[in-house]
Structure 1
Amino acid sequence: MKYGRCAAVTGAAMLFLTVGCSSASDTGSSTAATSSAAEESSVADPQPAGTVIDVTIMGGDISPTNERLDAVVGEPITLRVNSDTTDELHIHSVPDHTFEVEAKADQTFEFTVDVPGSVAIELHHADRTVATLAVRP
């Protein structure tokens, strides 16, 4: 009887170890899959920090126009521009910023504002206000 119990305990222990090893390898593969997914998401286009404004100038239409947005002093403000014409973006802030817009896609302009207040972003040739930023401390 003593040997029977010992064999049963040994058999149960071996079964537990086998199941435990199987679970460990399953966990390893899910960790690898999770790592792979994390790598894929980090490869995707990262969103810039701060305020981001997507500007489109196509066929005489400008988007956005007169948009109201919030921003923070010293944090980056990014303008991502797709345009079919040349123009000039002027940022009425302290300090002022001017960016030459070309007739092409995927242009990026980044700036910061040092003084809180209302900041207009204008397209000079089109004579349009793209956005007004409420910049807070």
Structure 2
Amino acid sequence: MKAHSIFGLVTAAAIASACSTTSESSPSGPPAETTVAIRIAADAVTPTNGRADAEVGQPIVLKVDSDAPDELHVHSDPPHTFAVEPRVGQEFRFTVTVPGQVEVELHEAGKTVTTLQVR
């Protein structure tokens, strides 16, 4: 009975470790995405002044739910601009080619959503 229980625990641990994910890049594939969820509702923006880490060339996805139109500005080199519509489920994808701090701001709301620390 003990051997059977130990086998079950080992099997469960192996399955759990196989299902885990990481944001680190692997030598054989592209780097994982960095995702920032943004919500604009009743003149409030979430997050405000957030922080996120990314790597040069890594896909960055901004997932936006909004009840008002606005414009996202990504202050990178080159810069990116995305028109936000008043609807849920919007996704904007880009990469950053120069390391450093990259601010993502909402133009009309006048708020910095997040700062990406790109390495």
User: What range is the shorter-chain TM-score in?
Assistant: 0.7 to 0.9
Amino acid at match of 2:45: I
What are the residue-to-residue correspondences of 1:1-137 with 2, within 5 Å? 49-136=32-119
Larger Rg, first or second structure (1 or 2): 1
Partner AA of 1:64 in structure 2: P
Identical residues among aligned pairs (%): 55
The CA RMSD measured in Å over matched residues stands at 0.5
Structure 2 distance, partners of 1:56, 1:69, is 16
Instruction: Please name the residue that 1:40 is paired with.
Output: none
Q: Which runs of 5+ in 1 are unaligned?
A: 1-48
Structure with larger RCO (C-alpha < 8 A, sep 6+): 2
Q: Which has the higher helix share?
A: 1
Residues of 1 paired with 2:73 and 2:94: CA distance?
Answer: 11
Name the TM-score, length of structure 2 as normaliser.
Answer: 0.73
The number of residue pairs the alignment matches comes to 88
CA distance in 1, matches of 2:87, 2:112: 20
Measure how far apart 1:65 and its partner are.
Answer: 0.4
Report SS of the residue matched to 1:65. coil
Q: CA deviation at 1:123?
A: 0.1
